[in-house]
């Protein structure tokens, strides 16, 4: 089952900048990935080579996620509408099916949730995903739960990216997050975080939050490998690790 996505921030940033994100497409595809996550923060500041990246991705038939480092809700608790419109336009050029942003400053009694519904009416071909980030507000379980409950109440088609490692940075409990947010999750970001808050490659031995996250969701859920992959040729090994874990779980549930 192909359900592993590789984000471009898994690789050395200087190498990504030198060759462009399109230069990693072939490597990711040939490693056996289902898709690729293009990172807005790693694109050039002047001219965005979105069409060029799309052409390369289309050649290999990869599913595309577009990740942008913007907050859905601004500091005044209102929708970050102008920035979101730009990101969706860029995602459309890129051919992305999912757009991923962080929550930002959502407050149930102050944020106009209907504004988000209006914005998404014109984006029926692109799924919006909201991720728990590393901030105290955007990575807060209670804030995220309030947002997704409000979205459900208003019939807003937004899903969650569950980053298994970011809870350590925002000081939240992974188990609590899984219990309260699992119904909204459609995408897992996997990373292993040390006690000193360093993101490291996944280790198959030991108890880790990413393992808890994987075991909590159906085997077919889409997963991203968001940790340093060094050298880049080890991409295939980590995708195989995910494939082996999936096969083991499939045997257990039969």
Q: Name the CA dihedral angle for 212, 10, 172, 67, rounded to a multiple of 10 degrees.
A: -110
**pLDDT > 70? residue 254:** no
CA-CA-CA-CA torsion sign (89, 94, 97, 101): negative
| 225: nearest Cα among 216, 238, 215, 213 | 238
pLDDT at 94: 98
**pLDDT > 90? residue 22:** yes
* Strands of 46-196, DSSP E: 63-73, 98-104, 127-131, 158-163, 185-190, 192-193
Interval 126-160: pLDDT, tens: 999 999 999 999 999 999 999 999 999 999 999 99
| 10: nearest Cα among 245, 237, 231 | 231
Cβ atoms 190, 210 nearer than 8 A: yes
On the question of a cis peptide bond just before residue 202, with omega within 30 degrees of 0, the verdict is no
Model confidence at 191, pLDDT cuts 50, 70, 90, reads: very high
Across the chain, mean pLDDT equals 95
Q: Is the pTM of this model over 0.85?
A: yes
pLDDT at 154: 96
**Higher-confidence position of 101 and 45:** 101
What percentage of the chain carries pLDDT values higher than 90?
Answer: 90
List domains and CATH numbers for the chain. 4-253 (3.20.20.150)
C-alpha distance across the termini of the chain, in Å = 16
Pairwise CA distance, residues 156 & 29, whole Å = 33
| 207: nearest Cα among 174, 169, 171 | 174
Model confidence at 122, pLDDT cuts 50, 70, 90, reads: confident
pLDDT at 6: 98
Cβ atoms 193, 170 nearer than 8 A: no
Cβ atoms 12, 230 nearer than 8 A: yes
């Amino acid at each position: 089952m192909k359900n592993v996505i590789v984000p471009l921030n898994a690789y050395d940033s200087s190498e990504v900048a030198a060759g462009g994100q399109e230069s990693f497409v072939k490597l990711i595809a040939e490693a056996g990935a289902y898709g690729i996550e293009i990172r807005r923060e790693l694109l050039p500041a002047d001219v965005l080579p979105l069409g060029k990246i799309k052409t390369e991705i289309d050649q290999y038939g990869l599913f595309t996620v577009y990740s942008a480092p913007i907050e859905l809700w601004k500091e005044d608790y209102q929708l970050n509408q102008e920035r979101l419109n730009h990101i969706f336009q860029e995602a459309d050029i890129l051919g992305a099916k999912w757009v991923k942003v962080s929550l930002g400053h959502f407050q149930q009694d102050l944020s106009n949730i209907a504004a988000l519904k209006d914005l998404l009416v014109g984006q029926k071909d692109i799924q919006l995903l909201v991720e728990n980030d590393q901030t105290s507000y955007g990575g807060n379980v209670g804030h995220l739960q309030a947002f997704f409950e409000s979205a459900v109440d208003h019939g807003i088609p937004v899903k969650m990216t569950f980053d298994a490692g970011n809870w350590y940075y925002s000081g939240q409990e992974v188990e609590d997050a899984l219990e309260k947010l699992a119904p909204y999750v459609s995408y897992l970001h996997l990373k292993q975080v040390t006690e000193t808050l360093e993101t490291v490659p996944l280790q198959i031995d030991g108890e880790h939050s990413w393992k808890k996250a994987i075991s909590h969701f159906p085997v077919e859920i889409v997963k991203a490998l968001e940790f340093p992959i060094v050298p880049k040729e080890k991409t295939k090994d980590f995708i195989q690790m995910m494939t082996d874990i999936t096969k083991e779980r499939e045997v257990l549930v039969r």
